[in-house]
């Protein structure tokens, strides 16, 4: 089969698992011991902002102890060296794609290293802890800043750009995601109806496996470099 011209890649928690970041559903629906409603909803933040800030401060600090793995690095090489276009979309809030060499990453569920102000909507890079006392660097409101994470019930980022890419790509590849959370879980069908080939690389069959034209099962650190090598 000839090389694709435009590849859209969707990654999920499974690509960062071998770097030591816990996945969601494999951990029994808890995120580092917390119910999703407590730490990943606007209601949870309104109910206990101190707990939610502490939770994301720990996740942000944990990034310092992890490194990109062979799968992130292979995708960085693909984005830099592939002859056609590569649109990389991640549901992950870590920065391992960037540290693996990817220069253009769409973080549809937000980023741990970003914050925004609920008072003035200013967004900024946040590498240090956030607290209920942190003033917004733009409008100075205390209590305005929150983690720049797309919580349940909120709209993922850059959906227009992602949908346009899915409609115009000729290969869609899903890596390390359970296919349990929409809209990302529906990307395979959108790409398929617009004529793209679809490939799943996951540790095991996912909820969405049946929608893919091809599936390969195994750890991302093996499957991703094996898939990328012949394309370069």
DSSP 66-90: ----HHHHHHHHHHHH-SSEEEEEE
What x-and-dash track marks residues 203-232 binding ligand OAD by CB under 6 A? xx-x------------xx------------
The number of residues making up the chain comes to 232
Instruction: Choose, by CB under 6 A, the member of 26, 37, 48, 226 that binds ligand OAD.
Output: 26
217 tagged catalytic:
no
The Cα 221–Cα 207 span in angstroms is 21
Stretch touching ligand OAD by CB under 6 A, among 52-60, 79-87, 95-103, 196-204: 196-204
Q: What are the C-alpha distances in Å from 159 to residues 7, 74, 229?
A: 17, 25, 29
- Across the chain, the runs of DSSP E, i.e. the strands, are 6-11, 30-31, 34-35, 85-90, 105-107, 110-117, 123-125, 145-149, 171-175, 197-202, 214-217
218 neighbors 203 (Cβ within 8 angstroms): yes
The Cα 41–Cα 231 span in angstroms is 40
Q: How far is the CB of 140 from ligand OAD (least distance, A)?
A: 29
Instruction: Choose, by CB under 6 A, the member of 24, 56, 116, 187 that binds ligand OAD.
Output: 24
12 in contact with ligand OAD (CB under 6 A): yes
Cβ distance to ligand OAD smaller for residue 33 or 84: 33
The Cα 197–Cα 213 span in angstroms is 7
- Helix, strand, coil % in the chain, rounded to nearest 5: 35, 20, 40
Q: How far is the CB of 204 from ligand OAD (least distance, A)?
A: 5
The Cα 220–Cα 16 span in angstroms is 9
Q: Catalytic residue among 97, 109, 194, 217, which?
A: 109
Instruction: Choose, by CB under 6 A, the member of 130, 150, 165, 171 that binds ligand OAD.
Output: 150
199 in contact with ligand OAD (CB under 6 A): no
Q: Which of positions 97-136 make contact with ligand OAD (CB under 6 A)?
A: 109
Cβ distance to ligand OAD smaller for residue 55 or 134: 55
Residue with tokens 């890079």: 125
Q: Which of positions 49-88 make contact with ligand OAD (CB under 6 A)?
A: none
Nearest-CB residue for ligand OAD: 14
Cβ distance to ligand OAD smaller for residue 55 or 170: 55
Contacts to ligand OAD by CB under 6 A: 12-14, 17-18, 23-26, 40, 91, 109, 150, 176-178, 180-181, 202-204, 206, 219-220
């Amino acid at each position: 089969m000839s090389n694709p011209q435009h590849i859209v890649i969707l990654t999920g928690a499974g690509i960062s698992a071998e770097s030591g970041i816990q996945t969601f559903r494999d951990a029994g629906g808890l995120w580092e011991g917390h119910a999703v409603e407590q730490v990943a909803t606007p209601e949870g933040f309104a109910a206990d902002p101190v707990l939610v800030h502490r939770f994301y401060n720990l996740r942000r600090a944990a990034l310092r102890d992890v490194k990109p793995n062979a799968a992130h690095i292979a995708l960085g090489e693909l984005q830099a060296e592939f002859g056609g276009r590569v649109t990389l979309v991640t549901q992950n809030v870590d920065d391992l794609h960037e540290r693996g060499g990817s220069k253009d990453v769409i973080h549809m569920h937000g980023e741990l290293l970003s914050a925004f102000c609920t008072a003035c909507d200013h967004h900024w890079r946040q590498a240090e802890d956030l607290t209920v006392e942190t003033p917004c660097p733009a409008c100075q409101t205390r209590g305005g800043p929150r983690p720049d994470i797309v919580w349940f019930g909120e709209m993922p980022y850059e959906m227009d750009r992602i949908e346009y890419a899915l409609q115009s790509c000729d290969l869609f590849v899903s890596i390390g995601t359970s296919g349990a959370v929409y809209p990302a879980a529906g990307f395979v069908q959108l790409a398929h109806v617009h004529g793209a080939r679809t490939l799943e690389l996951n540790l095991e069959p996912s909820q969405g496996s049946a929608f893919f034209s091809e599936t390969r099962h195994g750890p991302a650190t093996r499957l991703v470099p094996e898939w990328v090598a012949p394309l370069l």
